[in-house]
Structure 1
Amino acid sequence: MYDQLLRKEATLAVIGLGYVGLPIALEFAKQLKVIGFDINAGRVAQMKQAIDPSGELEAKDFEGCDITFTDSLEVLRQAQFFIVAVPTPIDEHAQPDLKPLLGASGSVGKVLKKGDYVVFESTVYPGCTEEDCIPVMEKLSGLKFPNDFKVGYSPERINPGDKEHTLRRIVKVVSGNDDEALETVAKVYELVVDAGVHRASSIRVAEAAKIIENTQRDVNIALMNELSMIFDRMNINTYEVLEAAGTKWNFLKFSPGLVGGHCIGVDPYYLTYKAKELGYDAKVILSGRTTNDNMGAYIARKTVQMMIKKGKDVAKSRVLVMGATFKENVEDIRNSKVADVIQELKNFSVNVDIVDPHADSDELLHEYGFRLTANDDLRTDYDAVIVAVGHKPYAEKDEAYFQSITADNAVLVDIKGLYRGRMQELHYWSL
C-alpha cells in the first residue's frame, strides 16, 4: 500500500475537512494523490477556491497540492487509504455523541474494498475504533475485518491558532490492528511528520494516550481555577502566586481560565463515560470537569458583586464582553465558555454587548442566541468590561482605552491576566 501511494497508483482520502482534516489532507497532497471529502457542500466549494472555512490556512497552503475536494461518495470510492478526522462532540447531557464518527464510518463502509486501510484520528474512548466503528464498516461494506481490510488509529494533535506546533513539528502517535498495519500506517505518516512517529502497541493504547493528554490538562487547569477562587478570598493575585511558584524547576505551569473548545472541555467526558460503563465512577476527572464547567457562572457572579459594591443598579447596568471564541486568535466558537458568562449576566438582568475580531456574528446567533455588537455601536458608559479572550488586539489595549468606554466607578475584569500591573485608576480584577 505504501509504495502504491508513493507511485500514485493508490489514493489517500481524508474524511472531514475541519481544523484537523484539512491541514493533514493538504500536507499529504504535496506528495500523494489525495481526495478531500466533506459532507458539507458549502465548505467543499470554498476549499475548491483555496479558502479554508476555518480561517486557519492561507491560499498559498493549497498551492502545489494534488487534491480533489468533493462531497461525492462516488469520488471517495477511488481511494484505498482513508483517514477519518471528524469531530467527536458531547451531547446536552455530557455524553459522547458518536453520530459524526459513525456517519463517517458508514461513508467509508459504503466505498470500502478488499485490501483498503482506514485510520481514525478522531478523539474517542479506548475501544471505540474496534467496538463501534469497525462493525459499521463491516456491515455496509460486506467485508470482514481483519482479513479484508486493515485499521489504524493515529490521534490528532492539531492546536488551532498555534503556528509553532504544527503537523510536521509534533510527534505523531500511530497504531494498527497488526504489525503489518502498524508499519504501513507509520511509514505513511512519516511522509508528513518531520518530528517522527511513536508506534503504540495497540489501537486501544493510542486511543487512551490521546484522551489522557487533554484530561491531564483539564484536571490541572481545574486546580488552578479552584486555587484562584481560594486566593481571591485571601486578596492574593493568583498570577503572582504562580509566578513565584514557577521558579521551582518542577512546578507545572498552568493558568486559571475558561476551558472550552472541542478538546479539553469535551474529551474527559469520553473517558468517564467508558469508565462508568465498566463500573467505575471517575472522581478526580469529574470533579475537575465540574469546576471548569462552572467558571463562566463564577466570573459573571463575581462581576455583578463588584458592580453592586461600586453602587451600580445591576438591572440598569451595561457590560461589554470582549471575546467570544473558545481561545485567543481563532475563529472557532465551539463550546465557548464565554457563552456561560454572558448567559449568567443575563440571568441577573444585565444588558450585555459582545465584540470579537475573529468570531462570526451569525454563527454565534445560531449556536448561542446572541449577536456581536458593531464597533460603531460601542458605548462610552459601560459599567463593567470583561476581557474574556486574549486576542492579540486586546493585549495591546491600555487603561486610556478602557476609560474611554466606561462610566465612573466601572469594573475591568481581566480573565487572562493581560493587564496585570498596568491599570492604575480602574477597579481591576483577574482570576
Structure 2
Amino acid sequence: MTKICVIGLGYVGLPLAHAFSEKYRVVGFDINEIRINELNSGFDRTLELSEIQLKEALNNGITFSLDIKDIEDCNVYIVTVPTPIDSSNRPDLTPLVKSSQMLGKVLKKNDIVIYESTVYPGVTEEVCVPELERESGMKFNTDFFCGYSPERINPGDKEHTVTKILKVTSGSTPEIATVVDDLYSSVITAGTFKATSIKVAEAAKVIENTQRDVNIALINELALIFDSIGIDTNEVIDAAATKWNFIKLKPGLVGGHCIGVDPYYLTFKAEELGYKPNLILGARQINNGMGKYIAEQTVKQMIKNDKKIKDSNILILGVTFKENCPDLRNTKVTDIVDELREYGANVDIYDPWVDLEETKHHFHHELLDKNPFESDKKYDSIIIAVAHNEFVSLREEDFKNISSGKEILIDIKGIVQNPTWRL
C-alpha cells in the first residue's frame, strides 16, 4: 500500500501533502519545529491552506513530524525543499543534498524518491542520486528509483491551486515514469504530462521561469526608454495589446522564490559547459536594477517638487514579492529601501500581510506595526510597491491626509488614478 512522505512543508509541500492526503496515507516532514507544531495545531502561516483545509487533512490522518522515525515506513518520498542561490548568484543545493542524505538512511528496496525542487538539468541524477546511494548502500534503478515532477505552485493564488495545474512528471526508468505519472494523475484533476526523461522535466521547469524573466526584462527596459521619452509605458502596452499575438506584461520588480532565482540555475549549468548565456544574464541585470531605478525616480520627483531628500520621511506600502500573499522570499522592495537610505531618507515600511516575526528571517529592515493611515505622522513621498487589496481600496484623500505638503505618489503597480510618477 502506498504511503507518501512529503519533505519540506512550505508553499509547495503543504498543499501537495494536503492533496495526497485525500487518497493516501501521508506524512509531512519538516525540520522546523515551530512549523510542525503550528500545522499540528491547525495553523498555516503561509495561508496556502485555510483552517478548514488543514483540519480536513488532519482528519484524513495526515501526520506532521520532524522525527525521521515517522517516515521509515513510507515507500514514496517527495522532496519539495528550497533551491536558493548564494551571494554570488550560484545554485545552493545544500537543502537538496541534506534531504537526500537523510532519505538515504531510511530508503528500502523498491522505494521511489521524487524531487519537485527547481534545478538545472542533471541535478537529480548527478547530485541527489549519489547521496541516496552512498547513505543507503543500495544501487540506483536496481534497489530504489527516482522521479522528477517540478512544482508549479503560484503562492497566494486561490484559483490555480496544486490540483488544478497540469503536472509534468518523469521517472528514472520507463516503468517508474508510469508509476510516478499514475500517482500524480490520481490527485491532479488538471491532468499530467509525462516527460521523456528526468533531465527533460528538469529543463522544462527551469525555462518556464527563465522565459518569464526575459519577457519582463524586455518590458522593464521599454519602461526605462519610454520614461526617458516622456510617455506612459502602460498606455503604450495597452495600445500594442490590441494586436492578437502581443504578450501583455507590465513593468515591475521581479522577486520571489522562482522568477528571480531559477534563471541562475540554468546560466550556471550553461557556463559550466562553456556557453555564455548573454540574453538570460542581461535580463537578470535589467530586472535586478529596477529597485535602484525606482528609488532614483522617487528622489527626482521630490526634488522637482522642492522637497529635500536628506532626513525626509518616505513611506513604502508593501514588501512581499506579490500582492495578497505573505511571501517575503527574495523581495526586491528591499533594494528600494537600501537605495533611499543611501540618500539619507528615513524610510518606513508597512505591509498588513506579513508576520512581523517572519520578516526577520527574510528582510533586514523593520516594518511598522501600526497602520500609517491611522497615525499622525506625515510623509514627503509614498511608494506603492505591492498591490494588496488594502492599498487598492485607498482613496486620494487617504494619501493626502498623511502627506507633508504636496503629496508625492510613486505608483509601481498601476493602482492609483493620478500618481506623481508611475513605472
TM-score range, shorter chain: over 0.9
Aligned to 1:354: 349
Matched, 1:403 2:400: yes
Counterpart-to-counterpart distance in 2, 1:185 and 1:372: 44
Which amino acid letter does the alignment assign opposite residue 38 of structure 1?
A: D
Counterpart-to-counterpart distance in 2, 1:186 and 1:398: 50
Show structure 2 runs of 5+ residues with no match: none
In the superposition, relative to structure 1, how do residues 29 and 188 fare at CA in structure 2: closer, same or farther (>3 Å)? same
Matched, 1:429 2:390: no
1:336-351 pair list within 5 angstroms? 336-351=331-346
Matched, 1:265 2:260: yes
Counterpart-to-counterpart distance in 2, 1:317 and 1:410: 13
Are the aligned partners of 2:117 and 2:150 in contact in 1 as well (CA < 8 Å)?
Answer: yes
Which runs of at least 4 in structure 1 moved beyond 2 Å after TM superposition? 360-369, 374-381
1:160-309 pair list within 5 angstroms? 160-309=155-304
Aligned to 2:106: 111
* Alignment RMSD: 1.1
Counterpart-to-counterpart distance in 1, 2:114 and 2:396: 51
Matched, 1:418 2:415: yes
Aligned to 2:384: 387
Aligned to 1:8: none
1:103-182 pair list within 5 angstroms? 103-182=98-177
Deviating more after overlay: 50-59 vs 278-287: 50-59
1:65-104 pair list within 5 angstroms? 65-104=60-99
Aligned to 2:9: 17
Residue 372 of structure 1: how far off its partner (Å): 1.2
Are the aligned partners of 2:328 and 2:363 in contact in 1 as well (CA < 8 Å)?
Answer: no
Aligned to 2:33: 41
With normalisation by structure 2, the TM-score equals 0.97
Counterpart-to-counterpart distance in 1, 2:398 and 2:45: 33
Are the aligned partners of 2:169 and 2:192 in contact in 1 as well (CA < 8 Å)?
Answer: yes
With normalisation by structure 1, the TM-score equals 0.95
Are the aligned partners of 1:126 and 1:208 in contact in 2 as well (CA < 8 Å)?
Answer: yes
In the superposition, relative to structure 1, how do residues 251 and 410 fare at CA in structure 2: closer, same or farther (>3 Å)? same
Counterpart-to-counterpart distance in 2, 1:415 and 1:376: 20
Matched, 1:31 2:26: no
Residue 380 of structure 1: how far off its partner (Å): 4.4
Counterpart-to-counterpart distance in 2, 1:17 and 1:55: 12
Counterpart-to-counterpart distance in 2, 1:207 and 1:379: 52
Q: Secondary structure at the match of 1:315?
A: coil
Counterpart-to-counterpart distance in 1, 2:296 and 2:98: 41
Counterpart-to-counterpart distance in 2, 1:364 and 1:290: 26
In the superposition, relative to structure 1, how do residues 376 and 332 fare at CA in structure 2: closer, same or farther (>3 Å)? closer
Residue 50 of structure 1: how far off its partner (Å): 1.6
Are the aligned partners of 2:350 and 2:371 in contact in 1 as well (CA < 8 Å)?
Answer: no
- CA deviations over 1:220-250 (Å, ceiling 9, x no partner): 0011111111111111111111111111100
Counterpart-to-counterpart distance in 1, 2:226 and 2:325: 30
Are the aligned partners of 2:399 and 2:407 in contact in 1 as well (CA < 8 Å)?
Answer: no
Are the aligned partners of 1:380 and 1:404 in contact in 2 as well (CA < 8 Å)?
Answer: no
Are the aligned partners of 1:82 and 1:119 in contact in 2 as well (CA < 8 Å)?
Answer: yes
- CA deviations over 1:332-359 (Å, ceiling 9, x no partner): 1110000111011001110001100111
Q: Secondary structure at the match of 2:131?
A: helix
Counterpart-to-counterpart distance in 2, 1:61 and 1:140: 36
- CA deviations over 1:248-294 (Å, ceiling 9, x no partner): 10001111100001000000000000000000111000000000011
Are the aligned partners of 1:324 and 1:354 in contact in 2 as well (CA < 8 Å)?
Answer: yes
Q: Percent identity?
A: 51
Which amino acid letter does the alignment assign opposite residue 418 of structure 1?
A: I
Are the aligned partners of 1:26 and 1:65 in contact in 2 as well (CA < 8 Å)?
Answer: no
Counterpart-to-counterpart distance in 2, 1:347 and 1:360: 27
- CA deviations over 1:114-170 (Å, ceiling 9, x no partner): 110010000000000000000001000111101011100000000001111111111
